Amino acid sequence: MAKAGPISVDKYLAAVPEPARSTLSAIRANLRAALPADAEEVISYRIPAFKHKRIVLWYAAFSNHCSLFPTASVIAKFKDELKGYTTAKGTIQFAVDKPLPASLLKRIVKARLAEMS
């Protein structure tokens, strides 16, 4: 049987070692600020996510990096601004001690919300 995942975003973050915990906390705060007030935090696929009617995006910590998962189509829209980061189909990877810039996060959130409407 698979190990049970975290039951809340706070519990997920509490289990993440520094400096990734501080980085994800900054990401969380910037995402919260960019999202509508009624967006809710959930655990989806065993990682934190924000939901506004449906999942807007996910974020997580791994052993050597942190990731934001805003969907492949959103990443494609920001490909020039993301040249300094490792990207894959639906993932933006960044250093455990260096969060994505708040202004970029805000634009990513707005693009994802527009895509969802």
Residue range of the domain that includes 31: 9-116
20 falls in which pLDDT band (50, 70, 90)?
very high
- pLDDT (average), residues 22-50: 97
Residue 2 lies in a domain: no
Return d(Cα 25, Cα 106) in angstroms, integer: 15
Whether the pLDDT of residue 1 is over 50: the answer is no
Residue 57 lies in a domain: yes
CATH label of the domain that carries residue 27? 3.90.1150.200
101 falls in which pLDDT band (50, 70, 90)?
very high
Whether the pLDDT of residue 6 is over 90: the answer is no
Q: How many domains does the chain have?
A: 1
Report which DSSP code applies to 64: S
Residue 3 lies in a domain: no
Residue with token string 């995402």 = 31
Average pLDDT for the chain = 94
